[in-house]
Amino acid sequence: MRNVMELKDNWMFVKEAENAADAASKKGTAVSLPHTWNAVDGQDGGNDYHRGTCWYVTKFQKPELEAGSQVYVEFLGASVIADVYLNGEAVAHHEGGYSTFRVNLTDKLQEENVLAVALNNADNNYVYPQKADFTFYGGLYRMVNLIVVPESHFELDYAGGNGIAVTPTVECDENRVPTGKASVKVETWVTGNADSVVITITGEESESKTVSVVDGHAEATFELEHVHLWDGVDDPYLYHAKAELSSGDVTETTFGCRSFYTDPEKGFVLNGRVYPLRGVSRHQDRTGAGNALSYEMHKEDMEIIKEIGANTIRLAHYQHAQEFYDLCDEYGMVVWAEIPYITMHMPNGRANTLSQMEELVVQNYNHPSIVCWGLSNEITAATPVDEDLLENHRLLNDLCHKLDKTRFTTMANVFMQETDSPLLEIPDVNSYNLYFGWYLGELEQNDEFFDEYHAKYPDRCIGFSEYGADANPQYQSTNPTHGDYSETYQTVYHEHMLKMIEERPYLWATHVWNMFDFAADGRDEGGKHGVNQKGLVTMDRKLKKDAFYLYKAYWNKEDAFVHICGSRYVDRKEDTTEVKVYSNQTTVSLYVDGTLLETQDGSRIFRFAVPMTGEHEIVAKAGAEEDSIHIRKVEEANPDYVMGEIKDVINWFDDEPYKPECYSIKDKMSEIKASPKAGAILAELMAQAPGAESRGDVAESVKDNPNLVRMMGRMTLESMLGHMKDSITEEQVKGLNRMLQQIKKGE
């Protein structure tokens, strides 16, 4: 029989030690698992964020063992590089902080055992992630288990898998519509001597088969004449598969039967019907806990995502906890799963990308919620496209298809990535992360990008993998603008994006960045330290921002509600204020101080003009649902509602090396002007900058002097801008460089 024991308690955390013996000899701090040492400092945004090597030490008695029994220690998540020691002897080394790995301890056990684990989340050049806009927590932030199995047992040594793989195939007609039949292949892998395996699948009907073990492998195929499909959020039906050995060892899993594909015009198709994937992205951390989450925390996250009405989740930017993948199966969420191959390609990191991908696929193969494997995210943000980067992606793509022939591959491209890059030809489908209207440009440029892409590549599937705007709920505005970090601008931004998405059904999937605010140790902006505030919900999960209810109005068709925006915008200086209401009902009535102001028929967004004379109680009613806020007229604007000086929003990777194949401020003025696209951007900046009129007069005199013309042409744009410090800000220079970096040389 298999026996699994949690090693939850009686751990000592030691921040500094020379080796395993030194760690075991120190008093340390008593902790229980899950635990991370960055639960607080990982979102402080200061210099106290600790990255390095720390130790966890525990003691345990040797379990009672029958003859031939094997003992494994299982780590469900140890971040980021783990070295495991038993009684002072090194027994395992694992690179990658997000996946399960196991160590066979059997031959090294004593009656009393000391288990010491050194974890390192410091910088290196070979284990991902190393550069990204989120905190790299260190610690044993998921559970550690002791597993005792008989000598003959299901495989525990390969890539953290559980020795069973289920491959359902749904029969479809010529139109790719399910016929009602399916076949289910169940494979198992066995260690030790075993002649046969009993495999059972259970659903609305149950069936068992006894199959032979050949070279450690056994498989059985079951024919389902009336298959019950796993049908997304509408009906996430799960079957159960179980495999048993005569030794008493058992492995089991849930699975679902579904068909899916992407289409350049229809988008995503599930079980023969067009099923637009509209949802969110999620990071696995929260205030006070870091990434050491309990099951209850995972469940709360899922309930919030369900409330908004999403049907898909991009689980970024690494392998998430099995508990959450299970919840996605149970709730019917279609999942994009990916590895932390992000931002910066490292030539020494190829093996690590492949091992992390192998673990991701093997450990998550049976989850029906997962439909695609993500190869990388914004990998060209800090690295140009070269042959080494391309080859790394080809190998990852081939590995995914070798391990899993049922799912497609994808990747999330950074917004300045050229659409004609050979990188986009590697995965089966593509997506883009676009931030027009936040980091640069105007909201309408998101529309233009997808229209141009779809027109140029009508046979390609394209998705929208990230978009968002930071919002600190403290900040409110009557005149919201890009870069003010106000909750108000976030609603304006998402109102545009939702309309844009709805008008483009060919987008195979769209994912808001992000469902929840999350820790990003490198950030210090928008009135908060160490937090990316693009979430629709705050990091502590206690406050749903107004934009949350906008999405709920679009996506949640079941739960009637009405929401008044601006509950935190109490003090208002204007004589007439706009009160905006979100609802999934078609009629909304607004009451001011108990008197009906107006009833409107509409859809999702309702706007009312309310005269301000003093203290007012505002109530919105939609059928049986209602919501209320309190506002008051003031003579002076409340300074707490404003961040301060509004500046251009600087992307977190703006200090990265330039892409040499694109224009930048380091190029010569003559080269930039020779490009129609780059020259137009430069001309626009020069015309808008203070002193443009006087510079025009100078230009008139310069053009008649050939020597001056040649000299100016040889100057880099960076040098020229250095002479304009009094009239052009640093933010404008960075913004100009970002735009130039999107234009390939020669265009």
In a 3-state reduction of DSSP, which class is residue 676? helix
Query: β-strand 178-191 against 164-172: which pairing, if any?
Result: antiparallel
Question: Which of these, 307, 304, 255, 309, lies nearest to 282 by C-alpha position?
Answer: 304
Pseudo-torsion of CA 328, 332, 338, 339, nearest 10°? 10
Taking the alpha carbons of 513, 450, 500, 261 in that order, is the dihedral positive or negative?
negative
Give the contacts of 525 (CB within 8 A, at least 6 positions apart).
470, 485, 649
CB 261 within 8 A of CB 178: no
* Pairing relationship of beta strands 277-282 and 312-315 according to DSSP bridges: parallel
* Euclidean distance between CA atoms 106 and 286, whole angstroms: 37
Strands of 87-234, DSSP E:
89-95, 101-104, 112-120, 144-149, 153-154, 164-172, 178-191, 196-202, 206-212, 217-224, 230-231
Q: Which of 155, 219, 378, 525 is catalytic?
A: 378
Q: Report d(CA 342, CA 383) in Å as an integer.
A: 10
Query: Do the beta carbons of residue 408 and residue 372 sit within 8 Å?
Result: yes
Locate 482 and state its tokens: 């890009």
Backbone angles phi, psi at 737, to 5 degrees: -65, -40
C-alpha–C-alpha distance, residues 737 and 670, integer Å: 16
**How far apart (Å, rounded) are the C-alpha atoms in residues 83 and 142?**
16
Query: Rounded CA gap, 146 and 71, in Å?
Result: 7
Selection from 663, 662, 669, 745 nearest residue 714 by Cα: 669
Strands (E), 47-163: 53-61, 70-75, 81-86, 89-95, 101-104, 112-120, 144-149, 153-154
Burial of 516 (0-12, 13-18, 19+ CB in 10 A): buried
Q: Please provide the size of the chain in residues.
A: 747
What Cα–Cα distance (Å) separates residue 375 from each residue in 178, 335, 398, 407, 648? Answer: 29, 14, 11, 13, 31
The pair of structure tokens assigned to 138 is: 């260190």
CA distance 268 to 507: 8
Report yes or no: 95 and 170 within 8 Å, Cβ to Cβ.
Answer: no
Please say whether the beta carbons of 409 and 372 come within 8 A: yes
Answer yes or no: are the C-beta atoms of 403 and 462 closer than 8 Å.
no
| Distance in angstroms (rounded) separating the CA atoms of residues 485 and 492 | 12
Type and span of the H or E element at 351: helix 350-364
Q: Is 134 exposed, middle or buried (0-12, 13-18, 19+ CB in 10 A)?
A: buried
102: amino acid identity, one letter: R
Q: Is 378 a catalytic residue?
A: yes
The answer to whether 505 and 267 are in contact (CB under 8 A) is yes
Residue type, 240: H
Residues annotated catalytic, as ranges: 378
